[in-house]
Structure formats: structure tokens, C-alpha cells
Amino acid sequence: MQVITKDELQIRKNELHRKILKGSLFIHPTDTIYGIGCNAKDRRAVAKVREIKQRPKTPFSVMVPSKEWIYKNCVVPKKAEQWLNKLPGPYTFIFTLKNKRAVVSNVNPRLNSIGVRIPDHWTHSIPEELGIPIITTSANIIGEEFMTSLENLDPKIKGRMNFILYEGEKRGRPSQIVDFTGKQKKIIKR
């Protein structure tokens, strides 16, 4: 697994973007914690992330290219608009998915909703520049501690990644989840 810094990403951007589009799995920092990422429009890549995380059915969230992507592909109720103004930021918003082709179906098996993120972090440039959503799920096996540095990255995950975008130890917490799929917004405790 290659460890790549922010500066190296800028130098190798075209190469790494091609790899992501072709299904590479990678670890990336966000404004909260490290996440596992892949092209959310690549069924095989998403299936590999599910296998690694041991999450056969639990929904994944995606880092999206823009707020415009959210409005185009999701049902955004009026009550969510003030929350969308908080983006970019440490939030995951769950919306009803109106464009079923926006992501492959195994991102959220048997659900018609999607968790979306626009982190306040330089890695947001990846989905923004590619124009596609990127899976973003904590870099851990379900039920285990999430990754905060290279030293505590689970070897079972490390061995399956193509590369990691690394910026040192993270001391964040997972994003706050707000569900807008019901009649009332629901803040989900973690």
C-alpha cells in the first residue's frame, strides 16, 4: 500500500484519479476521521469495501461533488435547507434518493436513501474534480476502533488498500448524522 501526502496527491493527481475511477480502494482523511473510499458508481469496488469492513448490508455514506449534486440526486425537504448551509462541515445528511443511478445499489442495499457528506477538508477536491460520489466509511472493521494513525490501522484493512492519503494522526470523531427521510428531522446519536 502506497502512503501519499497531500503534496504528492497534487503531483500524481491524474494517476490517482484514474485509479479511483477504475475501482481502487483507498484510505483518506476528512474533517473528522480517516475513511475508506472508492468510486460509489463501481459495484465491485463497493462490494470489496463491504467485505473488508464486514458490513454486508449496513448503508454507506458518500462524499459528494457538490451541493448541486445533492439537489439533483436527492429529495431535499425545506427543513434541510438551513442544514445544507452548514456544508462543508462535519455532517452526514440522510436524504431519500431520487436518482437511483447516482450510486450503485450496493451502496445502500434495499434502501431508497443515501447519506451524503461534503467535508471541510482538502480531500473533498477528489469527488469535486471527478464529478462522482466517493464512498466514505470509517477505516475500521465493524465494531472495532476506527483508525487515527498509520500505527493503529488494522493490518487486515491495510493489506487490501491500493493507497492511503495520509496527513498524520487525527483526533476527530465521526460526523454528526441528521436524517431527513421522515416527517421530522432526526439527529442520530453515535
pTM here?
0.94
Q: Is the confidence at residue 189, as pLDDT, over 80?
A: no
pLDDT confidence band for 100 (50 / 70 / 90): very high
pLDDT tens across 27-48, in order? 999 998 999 999 999 999 999 9
Secondary structure, 3-state, the chain: CEEECHHHHHHCHHHHHHHHHCCCCEEEECCCCEEEECECCCHHHHHHHHHHHCCCCCCCEEECCCHHHHHHHEECCHHHHHHHCCCCCCEEEEEEECCCCCCCHHHCCCCCEEEEECCCCHHHHHHHHHCCCEEEEECCCCCCCCCCCHHHCCHHHHCCCCEEECCCCCCCCCCEEEECCCCCCEEECC
Closest C-alpha among 66, 59, 71 to residue 114: 59
Model confidence pLDDT, tens digit, residues 49-65: 999 999 988 999 999 99
- The full set of domain ranges for the chain reads 2-188
The domain made up of 2-188 has a fold known as DHBP synthase (3.90.870)
Reported as a single tens digit per residue, the pLDDT across 105-158 is 999 988 899 999 999 999 999 999 999 999 999 999 988 988 999 999 999 999
Residue 151 C-alpha from the chain's centroid: 22
Task: Say which residue, 190 or 85, is predicted with more confidence.
Answer: 85
pLDDT for 138: 93
